[in-house]
Amino acid sequence: MEFQIDKETRAALEANLNIRFFFRLKMKPGSRHSSDIIPWAQTKADKVTKAMLEAIGRQAPNLNVDMQLNIVSLLRNRPYALLCYDLFLDEGDEQVRGDFSQAVRQPIYEVIKRGKTFHVLRSKKMDAIVAGEYEMLQHYDEGPRPSFTDGLNPPLYDERKRVEKPKDDGSPDPDEPEAGGAEEKGMPKDRPAEDEPREQNPEREEAR
């Protein structure tokens, strides 16, 4: 993997700060069930993040890396999953980490893939978008992290816990490439009254 990392993101990574990332992954047709999507998203986020750290020389064996996947949102009309997760790069205090992950608004660092290169940058314009999604999900969903939404099959909630239909057996893995499609920008509005997602900048490509 090739990376272009801006100065602000690099400084945060080198300072072992707690960091909140946002990026989009392309899916293949098939299972949209959380039991398939969440482990796949976790694996992808872990792979990209470790490669990112190696790109700035942070692959030392004694580096403690911990991730908290907070949101996985599937878009309704595009084959993409949008991810938000928190990265912790030192032992830290568990209370501090918990407070960071529970906070609605944090600076957002966005991962964008163009061609074969991942661009990682501080994205101030995403701060309010991601904070709005956190606020909405904290209102509806008190279940364990990550919160999961699907624009094609909006979740139901019972006593503020997400309820899903049983998984269909034989569904393919979400990681197979699919030709065509465009990206969406920002977190989708997966509220009970479903809204059309925002349009993506076509210049931005998916994270594979």
Q: Report pLDDT for 201.
A: 46
Tokens 């969406």 -> residue: 184
Please, which residues have CB within 8 angstroms of residue 16's CB and are 6 or more apart in sequence?
A: 89, 90
> What mean pLDDT do residues 140-162 have?
74
Q: Check whether the bond before 146 is cis (ω within 30° of 0).
A: yes
Q: Report pLDDT for 25.
A: 86
Q: Which of 54-63, 93-102, 157-166 has the lowest mean pLDDT?
A: 157-166
- Angle (nearest 5°) at CA 201 between 198 and 206: 95
Q: Which residues pair with 157 in a beta bridge?
A: 162
The model's pTM: 0.74
Q: Report pLDDT for 87.
A: 93
Taking the C-alpha atoms of residue 189 and residue 35, their distance in angstroms, rounded to an integer, is 21
The SS3 call for residue 3 is: strand
Q: Report pLDDT for 39.
A: 93
Taking the C-alpha atoms of residue 67 and residue 60, their distance in angstroms, rounded to an integer, is 17
Q: What is the pLDDT of residues 84-129, one digit of tens each?
A: 999 998 766 778 888 888 888 999 999 998 888 999 999 999 999 9
Give me the residue spans of the domains in the chain: 2-163
pLDDT at 193 over 50: no
Rg (CA), the chain: 17
Q: Report pLDDT for 26.
A: 86
